[in-house]
Amino acid sequence: MMQEPALTCAICEIRKDKRFCPAVHGRICPQCCGEQREVTLDCPSDCPYLLQAREHEKPRAADQLDPAGLFLEIEISDQFMYEKEHLLMGLTYALAKAARADRLMNDQDLIRALTVLTTSYERLVNSGLHYEQPLTNQSQRRVAAEVETMVKEYRAAEQEHVGYSMLKDSDVLKALVFLVRLAHGRSSGRPKSRALVEFLFAQFPEKESALLTPQEAGSRIILP
């Protein structure tokens, strides 16, 4: 009786397959799963191996991040966090809204868009010059548009409730720096990582946020 040949990994075609990979719709070995997860593979958010890896994954060390990308020269105080809580919540919602509208968006798209926006506001605050760096793809442009829309809605809410807008460009800059640091902290840094995206979705569940009108979204940032 002939023995059936051992099946090999659909990626390396060398090692024995051990687990089903929904990204390739086939069986792969654990080593390829670990090495290619969110690097070359578009792992779905409900993949059990991805979820298991995230549970055991440690936050990236500071030396793994580019200090320049964290805008460390900009200080964010606890007082700012308290006073601008509604602004931070509104901008975080804007990121979640952008990601829900584009299912192909990943963490790197969000981080790139936030970094470009932060750099633009930093130049505006420091020199008064408004210069927008080009964003490389539609996903990043969508993020930037949602953030800018939320800033306008926040200022409009202030105007309606206190008669004038108190929000300074320097406040927006600090809020964006906070989001940039949050984004780097929540992402694994892998090219196709969506850990940050999933974190945003958890903060604003679809049943509560995905179908909100602009007016309803604005209600999240009404000043106390």
According to the model, what pLDDT value does residue 208 have? 53
Q: Are 29 and 75 members of one domain?
A: no
**How many domains in the chain?**
2
Question: Which runs of consecutive H residues, i.e. helices, occur in 163-220?
Answer: 169-186, 195-203, 206-209, 214-218
Residue type for position 147: V
Q: Read off the pTM.
A: 0.83
Name the residue range of residue 150's domain. 69-221
Question: Rounded CA gap, 119 and 126, in Å?
Answer: 11
According to the model, what pLDDT value does residue 133 have? 73
Q: Are 122 and 207 members of one domain?
A: yes
Q: Is residue 209 in some structural domain?
A: yes
Q: Are 29 and 98 members of one domain?
A: no
Tell me which residue has tokens 């964003």. Answer: 135
Residue 80 sits at the vertex; the CA angle it makes with 98 and 189, to the nearest 5 degrees, is: 45
Per-residue pLDDT in tens (0 to 9) along the chain, 224 residues: 444 456 899 999 999 999 999 999 999 999 999 999 999 999 998 999 999 998 888 777 666 777 888 999 999 999 999 999 999 999 999 999 999 999 889 999 999 999 999 999 999 999 877 777 778 799 999 999 999 999 999 999 988 888 878 899 999 999 999 999 999 999 988 999 999 999 999 999 876 544 344 444 444 433 33
According to the model, what pLDDT value does residue 62 have? 63
Q: Are 159 and 92 members of one domain?
A: yes
Q: Are 9 and 116 members of one domain?
A: no
Q: Are 103 and 138 members of one domain?
A: yes
According to the model, what pLDDT value does residue 7 have? 84
Contacts 24+ apart (CB under 8 A), 14-20: 19/49
Q: Is residue 161 in some structural domain?
A: yes
Q: Are 74 and 49 members of one domain?
A: no
Within 13 Å, how many C-alpha atoms sit on residue 17's CB side?
A: 16
According to the model, what pLDDT value does residue 210 have? 40
